[in-house]
Structure 1
Amino acid sequence: MPHLKQKRNENYTELLFIMMFDYFRSARKKQRASHLRYFLMHMMYKYGFKFSTYLDVGACNSIELDQYCDLFDNVVAFEPNPKAIIIPRDNLILHQKALSDREEVRDFHIDMTIPHYSTLNRQKMDKYIPEGHDWKIMQVTTAKLDDYELRPSCIKIDTEGEDDAVVRGAYSTITKWKPILYLEFMSQETEQSLIDIGYTVEYSSWIDNFLIHEDYI
């Protein structure tokens, strides 16, 4: 979708039409990523957020990142998988780092069959991934998002089972800047911790959760 960064400041209706076209086109191809992107753009405009800094925790590849680089002024991505193919962009900063709620050495399980299933939390993901996948293990040193002192307008967290820990490690950042949040998985404990600091769930399903802070409602 070219020229979205220009159109975001020109005509909201036109941009939503473009995003809806992308949504329905992708729905035919069953591309969930485009569905999420459409919903995120709708929230950004609905609540008046600036397209300043987008944080992608669990970036996986350049397919989605390229489109967010076209929309946001700055994109900061975290992806520890060395097999991930991420093409450099002028407004993209890539950290080959696994995020969690503390700094420690962990086993990172790389799914050689379907790379985007790679995870720190193999025990949890084994509940959802069929048997027969080829796995490789590498050791990584995890970090907290709070350590990077970023100022996001939106945070996407899709870490194949580690989302709750990432939120705990990003608590100060989230509390201070109140970004729109997208979490693939969200436990009741994490949901309540976010509600306690003023967030409300805008949309939630089994694996997709969007939250907005009450200051913007």
Structure 2
Amino acid sequence: MIETIELPWRFGIIEVPAPDRYIRPAIEVTGEYSGDEFDLYQAMLRAGDVAVDVGANIGVFSIAMGQAVGKTGRVLAFEPQPLIFGTLTRNLARHGLERVEVQRAIVSDVEGAGQFADVRTLPEGRKVNFGTISVTSRILPEYGGMSPTPVVTLDRLELVRCDLIKIDVEGAEEAVLRGAVATIARCRPILSLECDRPNAASPWVDGFLASGYSLWRFRGTNLRVPNPNGVPIDGVANYTSIMALAVPPERHDALNRVDRTRLQPIDSRETLERLSRNIVVMNGS
């Protein structure tokens, strides 16, 4: 079985899978993970807001959302990987966020029964970026298998209020959006979508622009200085975090609360595709 470890970070202790090769080293070195994106959600959300985290992983950004919306708000977090879902649930409890509603499910455009990769063991010394395991991933029998997993849509939640939806599902963002058409039309939330795969990001651009949304590319980094551990990051691989923000005009005040230097306007599908290709691995920066 894959073990998890507890690491000190900016809010106390957080649990991560021991063989994680992406989040674990970031927290070990700096005491945080993707702090720019963490701060983005905390700046955009307010007490009493409702947020949805699709592809919650171990819960770093669910924690950000839960802290921001407070006891009067609501956060719904979805994560399909069995190992990671357990870690997510424990991390939320550790941070006093048991009120965050968690579900082990695949979020898509249909309801039903599906399967998701369940990594249960790895060769000694093998490291994995669990965040890149997707709905299309398959696991060799000696390392685990496929776990029965419900498939849900956001529209079936029938939310009467939704202020922000974050979607990070390794190229399946379009399916999540198709299953949230009614929710988006009714609630007009801010959306944050991973866009490091240009072809996956582009199909929804025209629809959002036509409905009056403004689109922005947000660029953060996996590691940053200053950081909670007060350490330099020279010689450590530092990855850019590429996301697209879709913001309706009635929520533009949220943009005034974020670091505008990290935002670039997107006026077309071609612009997003060009910016999404610009993912840099920086060493010694």
State the AA in 2 paired with 1:212: V
Q: Distance in 2 between matches of 1:144 and 1:92?
A: 18
Q: Give the count of matched residue pairs.
A: 180
Q: Distance in 2 between matches of 1:146 and 1:39?
A: 25
Which runs of structure 2 are paired with 1:165-176 in the superposition (5 Å)?
165-176=175-186
Which position in structure 2 is the counterpart of 1:140?
149
Q: Distance in 1 between matches of 2:59 and 2:250?
A: 32
Matched, 1:178 2:216: no
Greater RCO between the two (CA within 8 Å, min separation 6)? 2
Residues 92, 30 of structure 1: alpha-carbon distance in 2 compared, 3 angstrom cutoff: closer
Q: Distance in 1 between matches of 2:37 and 2:144?
A: 28
Q: Distance in 2 between matches of 1:83 and 1:209?
A: 28
Q: Is the 8 A contact 1:78 1:97 kept in 2?
A: yes
Which position in structure 1 is the counterpart of 2:60?
63
Matched, 1:197 2:211: yes
Tell me how far 1:121 sits from its aligned partner: 3.0
Q: Is the 8 A contact 1:51 1:153 kept in 2?
A: no
Give me the TM-score of the superposition, normalised by structure 1.
0.70
Q: Percent identity?
A: 23
RMSD (Å), alpha carbons:
2.8
Tell me how far 1:111 sits from its aligned partner: 5.1
Which position in structure 2 is the counterpart of 1:210?
245
Q: Is the 8 A contact 1:81 1:110 kept in 2?
A: yes
State the AA in 1 paired with 2:60: I
Q: Distance in 1 between matches of 2:52 and 2:169?
A: 13
Tell me how far 1:175 sits from its aligned partner: 1.1
Which position in structure 2 is the counterpart of 1:34?
35
Q: Distance in 2 between matches of 1:91 and 1:208?
A: 27
**CA displacement 1:60-89 (0-9 Å, x = unmatched):** 113332232111122111112110112232
Which position in structure 2 is the counterpart of 1:155?
165
Tell me how far 1:187 sits from its aligned partner: 2.3
State the AA in 2 paired with 1:115: F
Structure with the largest fraction of strand: 2
SS in 1 for 2:81: coil
Tell me how far 1:98 sits from its aligned partner: 0.9
Structure with the largest fraction of helix: 1
Residues 139, 53 of structure 1: alpha-carbon distance in 2 compared, 3 angstrom cutoff: same
Q: Distance in 2 between matches of 1:90 and 1:111?
A: 25
Pick one of 97, 110, 113 that aligns with 1:102: 110
Residues 135, 117 of structure 1: alpha-carbon distance in 2 compared, 3 angstrom cutoff: farther
Unaligned runs of 5+ in 1: 3-24, 124-133
Residues 138, 30 of structure 1: alpha-carbon distance in 2 compared, 3 angstrom cutoff: same
Q: Distance in 2 between matches of 1:118 and 1:105?
A: 19
**CA displacement 1:157-198 (0-9 Å, x = unmatched):** 111221111011011111111111100135221122222222
**CA displacement 1:24-78 (0-9 Å, x = unmatched):** x98x84966321122334445xxxx665111111111133322321111221111
Q: Is the 8 A contact 2:41 2:65 kept in 1?
A: no
Q: Is the 8 A contact 2:33 2:60 kept in 1?
A: no
Which position in structure 2 is the counterpart of 1:18?
none
Which runs of structure 2 are paired with 1:82-97 in the superposition (5 Å)?
82-84=82-84, 85=87, 86-87=89-90, 88=93, 89-97=97-105
Residues 39, 65 of structure 1: alpha-carbon distance in 2 compared, 3 angstrom cutoff: closer
Matched, 1:79 2:94: no
Q: Is the 8 A contact 1:99 1:145 kept in 2?
A: yes
State the AA in 1 paired with 2:151: T
Which position in structure 1 is the counterpart of 2:280?
none
Residues 212, 50 of structure 1: alpha-carbon distance in 2 compared, 3 angstrom cutoff: farther
**CA displacement 1:132-163 (0-9 Å, x = unmatched):** xx563223231111001122111111112211
**CA displacement 1:105-128 (0-9 Å, x = unmatched):** 3332345633222211339xxxxx
